[in-house]
């Protein structure tokens, strides 16, 4: 694409999500207004077979098992998709080198790690954002617009959820996401939590108080080598929070579940107020439901969301949108904001939003321990210990 500024992109962590980056870069021409042309040039992974996959991407020149080789100015932007216990060290090293990056959530395993990352980023010149793509579904964008226009009136209640179910299969072998030493004591909240906090935080809805019900449902899993391994993570988390708003406090419920039978990768939201409501689920990705009051009647109506999200694409407006489109949108938003051209369009989650999310998850652990509602503690730098999950249901 002539006129677009080439940007050299590298990936650290060539697993599930690292490969998705290659797909997103490959579809860049679908974006109508992007000022950049990202080119995937370098890949790092400690697993040689993960690196091998990238040999199919013709623009990739560097394959390495040491991410520090990508901090020498040979790439302009990094995507980091490594297990959670590595976030703090890797993100801090990249920030210190002054390389821009989009890091995967949750930005460390606990508030201590997340705060350290925030400080490292603030002290650097790097432009840094946190991955969260689901809000880029057109239906979510339209729901956000409905709420920003104040069409719900005084909010009565809000619910955001991200629901998986493959862990219902107890024969599914263990991986790092099911072991606290790699994914942190916050378990599923680290995995899915940023996905449900991004939109409420962006709407200015920071919880003040949390009552959490955290569940451990599967204690062991096959280790993949014929034996059994301990699966010591929280599978499901339901956070009942209170948001203080000038128009009046309201309950905000945040659900993150690895075992929500029947839900494969469902992100959903429902917000109702005194004048209107809005409801959206990626289970029915084309359908946006809104409620308005007309002639004294409460009218819920359904309309199709179409293909257009925050950043315009060549895709016909009547066509369908999916997960890979959401990733493309997230990256387009990242580069637009990096270039200073995002304007009023929806942006990627920030390191600060990741930190607030950690403070929320930390409050959830404390609530679970005491079986009581607890306040969020801004500025906590707590490093989690095994005892922090003592109150988890089923443990
Ligand atoms: N945004 C999303 O929708 C989404 C979905 C899944 C996972 N994630 C996030 O992406 C990140 C990675 O998850 P995943 O599912 O891709 O995991 P994965 O296990 O599939 O991939 C992680 C990769 O990191 C590599 N790795 C480990 N240590 C490394 C090191 N020191 N240097 C370089 N590479 C190293 C592993 O070999 C592996 O290939 C996590 O933060 C996770 O929360 C995000």
Q: What is the pLDDT of residues 49-82, one digit of tens each?
A: 999 999 999 999 999 999 999 999 999 999 999 9
Instruction: Say yes or no: domain 5-130 is CATH 3.40.1710.10.
Output: no
CATH number of the structural domain 135-331+347-369: 3.30.360.10
Does residue 131 have its Cβ closer than 6 Å to ligand 1?
A: yes
Does residue 108 have its Cβ closer than 6 Å to ligand 1?
A: no
- Residues with Cβ within 8 Å of 4's Cβ and at least 6 positions away in sequence, in order, are 34, 35, 36, 37
Does residue 77 have its Cβ closer than 6 Å to ligand 1?
A: no
Q: Do residues 359 and 186 make contact, with C-beta atoms less than 8 angstroms apart?
A: no
The encoded tokens of residue 162 equal 């991200």
Helix, strand, coil in percent for the chain, rounding step 5: 35, 25, 40
Please give the distance, rounded to the nearest whole angstrom, from the Cα atom of residue 387 to the centre of ligand 1.
26
Residue with CA at minimum distance from ligand 1 atom 6: 17
Alpha-helical segments (H) within the chain: 16-26, 48-53, 87-97, 111-122, 138-148, 180-183, 188-202, 323-338, 351-370
Please give the distance, rounded to the nearest whole angstrom, from the Cα atom of residue 259 to the centre of ligand 1.
21
Q: What's the DSSP call for residue 224?
A: S
- In this predicted structure, the answer to whether residue 327 has a pLDDT above a threshold of 80 is yes
Does residue 67 have its Cβ closer than 6 Å to ligand 1?
A: yes
Single out the residue of 37, 34, 40, 43 nearest to residue 9, CA to CA: 40
Residue span(s) of the chain under CATH 3.40.50.720 come to: 5-130
Radius of gyration, CA atoms only, the chain: 21
Q: What's the DSSP call for residue 378?
A: T
Q: Do residues 373 and 129 make contact, with C-beta atoms less than 8 angstroms apart?
A: no
SS3 state at 387:
helix
- In this predicted structure, the answer to whether residue 387 has a pLDDT above a threshold of 90 is no
SS3 state at 85:
helix
Q: At what angle do helices 16-26 and 323-338 cross, to 10 degrees?
A: 70
Residue with CA at minimum distance from ligand 1 atom 31: 46
- Residues with Cβ within 8 Å of 25's Cβ and at least 6 positions away in sequence, in order, are 9, 38, 39, 40, 331
Q: Do residues 230 and 220 make contact, with C-beta atoms less than 8 angstroms apart?
A: yes
At 395 the pLDDT is 84
What's the whole-model pTM score? 0.97
Q: How far is CA 215 from CA 15, 187, 212, 385, in A?
A: 28, 10, 10, 18
- In this predicted structure, the answer to whether residue 28 has a pLDDT above a threshold of 60 is yes
SS3 state at 276:
strand
Residue span(s) of the chain under CATH 3.30.360.10 come to: 135-331+347-369
Residue with CA at minimum distance from ligand 1 atom 15: 16
Say how many CA atoms lie within 13 Å of 86 toward its Cβ: 15
CB atoms near residue 55 (< 10 Å): 10
**Mean pLDDT of all residues in the chain?**
97
Q: How far is CA 157 from CA 162, 240, 274, 299, in A?
A: 17, 11, 10, 18
Say how many CA atoms lie within 13 Å of 157 toward its Cβ: 6
Q: Do residues 345 and 311 make contact, with C-beta atoms less than 8 angstroms apart?
A: yes
Q: How far apart are CA 56 and CA 40, in angstroms?
A: 12
At 1 the pLDDT is 44
Does residue 180 have its Cβ closer than 6 Å to ligand 1?
A: no
Does residue 83 have its Cβ closer than 6 Å to ligand 1?
A: yes
Please give the distance, rounded to the nearest whole angstrom, from the Cα atom of residue 15 to the centre of ligand 1.
5
At 2 the pLDDT is 57
Does residue 121 have its Cβ closer than 6 Å to ligand 1?
A: no
Burial 299-313 (b: 16+ CB within 10 A, else e): eeeeeebbbbbbbeb
Residue with CA at minimum distance from ligand 1 atom 18: 15
Q: Do residues 167 and 218 make contact, with C-beta atoms less than 8 angstroms apart?
A: yes
- In this predicted structure, the answer to whether residue 158 has a pLDDT above a threshold of 50 is yes
The encoded tokens of residue 289 equal 């439901």
Please give the distance, rounded to the nearest whole angstrom, from the Cα atom of residue 35 to the centre of ligand 1.
28
Does residue 314 have its Cβ closer than 6 Å to ligand 1?
A: no
- In this predicted structure, the answer to whether residue 18 has a pLDDT above a threshold of 50 is yes
Does residue 38 have its Cβ closer than 6 Å to ligand 1?
A: no
- Residues with Cβ within 8 Å of 5's Cβ and at least 6 positions away in sequence, in order, are 35, 36, 37
Does residue 88 have its Cβ closer than 6 Å to ligand 1?
A: no
Residue with CA at minimum distance from ligand 1 atom 41: 104
Does residue 325 have its Cβ closer than 6 Å to ligand 1?
A: no
Q: Which residue has the higher pLDDT, 3 or 330?
A: 330
pLDDT tens-digit readout, 217-265: 999 999 999 999 999 999 999 999 999 999 999 999 999 999 999 999 9
- In this predicted structure, the answer to whether residue 128 has a pLDDT above a threshold of 60 is yes
Residue with CA at minimum distance from ligand 1 atom 38: 15
Does residue 326 have its Cβ closer than 6 Å to ligand 1?
A: no
């Amino acid at each position: 694409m002539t006129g677009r500024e080439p940007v050299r992109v590298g990936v650290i962590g060539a697993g599930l999500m690292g490969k998705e980056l290659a797909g997103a870069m490959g579809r860049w021409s679908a974006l109508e207004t992007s000022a950049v042309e990202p080119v995937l040039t370098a890949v790092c992974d400690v697993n040689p077979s993960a690196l091998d996959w990238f040999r199919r991407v013709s623009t990739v020149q560097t394959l390495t098992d040491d991410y520090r080789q990508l901090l020498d100015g040979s790439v302009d932007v990094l995507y980091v998709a490594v297990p959670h216990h590595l976030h703090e060290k890797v993100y801090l090293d990249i920030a210190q080198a002054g390389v821009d990056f989009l890091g995967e959530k949750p930005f460390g395993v606990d508030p201590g790690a997340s705060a350290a990352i925030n400080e490292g980023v603030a002290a650097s010149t790097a432009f840094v954002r946190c991955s969260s793509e689901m809000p880029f579904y057109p239906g979510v964008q339209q729901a956000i617009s409905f709420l920003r226009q104040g069409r719900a009136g005084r909010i009565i209640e809000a619910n955001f959820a991200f629901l998986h179910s493959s862990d219902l299969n107890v024969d599914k072998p263990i991986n790092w996401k099911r072991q606290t030493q790699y994914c942190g004591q916050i378990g599923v909240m680290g995995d899915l939590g940023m996905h449900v906090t991004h939109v409420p935080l962006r709407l200015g809805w920071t919880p003040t108080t949390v009552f959490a019900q955290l569940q451990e449902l599967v204690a062991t899993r096959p280790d993949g080598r014929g034996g059994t391994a301990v699966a010591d993570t929280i599978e499901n988390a339901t956070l009942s929070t209170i948001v203080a708003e000038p128009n009046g406090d309201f309950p905000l419920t945040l659900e993150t579940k690895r075992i929500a039978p029947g839900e494969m990768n469902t992100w959903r939201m429902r917000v109702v107020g005194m004048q209107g409501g809005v409801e959206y689920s990626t289970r029915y990705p084309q359908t946006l439901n809104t409620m308005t009051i007309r002639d004294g009647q409460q009218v819920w109506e359904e309309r199709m969301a179409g293909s257009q999200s925050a950043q315009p694409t060549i895709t016909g407006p009547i066509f369908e949108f999916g997960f890979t489109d959401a990733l493309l949108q997230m990256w387009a938003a990242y580069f637009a904001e990096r270039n200073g051209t995002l304007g009023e369009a929806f942006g990627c989650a920030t390191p600060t939003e990741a930190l607030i999310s950690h403070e929320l998850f930390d409050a959830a652990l404390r609530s679970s321990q005491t079986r009581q509602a607890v306040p969020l503690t801004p500025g906590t730098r707590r490093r989690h210990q095994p005892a922090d999950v003592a109150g988890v249901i089923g443990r």
